[in-house]
């Protein structure tokens, strides 16, 4: 089994010959067994990236390896829940799960799928078209989890779930990851929701990878600093954002040299780190790949 779930090199996707690039020059590695948050503003390219990894879209340029092979070849081992949760509206919940079993001979876990549905109090005889958005999400997640995939790609899976359902389904996902070593890549706009469950981050902005790597490593590489207003003191460091209020300078930096002794420092939270990069699209990118200890600053 490959120790890498997804690896992209020079990956680009353009829709149509004259369309703009939805993704460009993307390079990152997601090690197997990680739970990865995929974050970024609207239109950044998150759905495109997940659909490429699911083998539903061909890349325009570059390479994408999934579970040690091409995305199309990896599809039987990958569960994908798209943003619009496509299901057959005329089928019942039970028929949908039976279809899941038929489509995944030899690796279908009926107990997992039925448990996800049952916890939502869904009537197995109910037609998909009669379900609410959140209930459909539950059925789509049941299908994806029942497949017992090695890699789960989830595009905003929690967006239309109520808080209790979010909590419960996030718990189910984490249990799956812990029990079977499933790699999960999950996009969301709610960073606080990902903080406790994810250990890896992909921040996509304007079709580029802005941050990629182990969350602890990315957080450790950044410092929130404050001190006397002297921007020159920042010159030695990679600055994500800085602000002067009166005589006070505050900044989020990647320190590259010893800091002045009178600066106060604190560790940023994941939400602070992500928001600072979203507010400052020109901030230098950082990609860390644990196995290769590769680091690049663009």
Ligand X SMILES: Nc1ncnc2c1ncn2[C@@H]1O[C@H](COP(=O)(O)OP(=O)(O)OP(=O)(O)O)[C@@H](O)[C@H]1O
Alpha-carbon gap, residue 155 to 166, rounded angstroms: 14
Minimum CB–partner distance for residue 22 and ligand X (Å)? 3
Among 150, 153, 176, 181, CA closest to 54: 153
Minimum CB–partner distance for residue 97 and ligand X (Å)? 27
Residues near ligand X (CB under 6 A) are 15, 19, 22, 40, 42-48
Q: Which is nearer to ligand X, 71 or 146 (CB)?
A: 71
DSSP string for residues in 168-218: HHHHHHHHHHHHH--EEEEE-S-HHHHHTT-SEEEEEETTEEEEEEEHHHH
Minimum CB–partner distance for residue 10 and ligand X (Å)? 18
Minimum CB–partner distance for residue 134 and ligand X (Å)? 18
Alpha-carbon gap, residue 54 to 79, rounded angstroms: 8
CB 92 within 8 A of CB 30: no
Q: Helix crossing, 93-103 with 110-118: angle to 10°?
A: 160
Q: Which is nearer to ligand X, 61 or 230 (CB)?
A: 61
Q: Which is nearer to ligand X, 48 or 176 (CB)?
A: 48
Minimum CB–partner distance for residue 179 and ligand X (Å)? 29
Evaluate the CA torsion angle 169, 110, 100, 13 in order and state its sign: positive
- Token reading at 167: 């909590």
Minimum CB–partner distance for residue 166 and ligand X (Å)? 18
Alpha-carbon gap, residue 280 to 286, rounded angstroms: 14
CA 273 vs. chain centroid, Å, equals 15
Minimum CB–partner distance for residue 98 and ligand X (Å)? 31
Q: Which is nearer to ligand X, 15 or 88 (CB)?
A: 15
Q: Which is nearer to ligand X, 158 or 223 (CB)?
A: 158
Q: Which is nearer to ligand X, 40 or 71 (CB)?
A: 40
Mention every residue, 6+ apart, whose C-beta is less than 8 A from residue 260.
227, 233
Evaluate the CA torsion angle 204, 4, 194, 58 in order and state its sign: positive
Q: Which is nearer to ligand X, 44 or 223 (CB)?
A: 44
């Amino acid at each position: 089994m490959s120790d890498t779930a997804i690896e992209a090199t020079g990956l680009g996707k353009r829709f149509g010959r004259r369309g703009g690039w939805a993704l460009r020059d993307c390079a990152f590695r997601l090690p197997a067994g990680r739970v990865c948050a995929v974050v970024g503003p609207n239109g950044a390219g998150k759905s495109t990236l997940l659909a490429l990894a699911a083998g539903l879209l061909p890349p325009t340029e570059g390479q994408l390896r999934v579970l040690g092979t091409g995305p199309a070849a990896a599809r039987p081992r990958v569960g994908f829940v798209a943003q619009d949760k496509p299901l057959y509206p005329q089928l019942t919940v039970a028929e949908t799960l039976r279809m899941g079993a038929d489509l995944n001979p030899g690796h279908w876990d009926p107990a997992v799928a039925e448990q996800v549905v049952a916890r939502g109090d869904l009537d197995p005889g109910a037609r998909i078209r009669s379900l609410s958005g959140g209930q459909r999400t539950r059925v789509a997640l049941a299908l994806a989890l029942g497949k017992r995939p090695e890699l789960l790609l989830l595009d905003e899976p929690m967006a239309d779930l109520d808080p209790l359902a979010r909590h419960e389904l996030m718990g189910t996902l984490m249990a799956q990851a812990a029990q079977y070593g499933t790699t999960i890549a999950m996009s969301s706009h709610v960073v606080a929701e990902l903080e406790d469950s994810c250990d890896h981050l992909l921040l996509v902005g304007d079709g580029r990878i802005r941050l990629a790597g182990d969350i602890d490593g990315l957080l450790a590489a950044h410092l929130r600093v404050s001190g006397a207003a002297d921007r020159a003191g920042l010159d030695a460091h990679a600055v994500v954002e800085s602000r002067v209020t009166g005589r006070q300078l505050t900044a989020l930096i990647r320190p590259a040299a010893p800091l002045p002794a009178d600066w106060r420092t604190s560790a940023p939270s994941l939400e602070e780190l992500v928001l600072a990069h979203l507010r400052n699209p020109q901030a230098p990118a950082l990609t860390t790949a644990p196995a290769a200890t590769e680091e690049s600053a663009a």
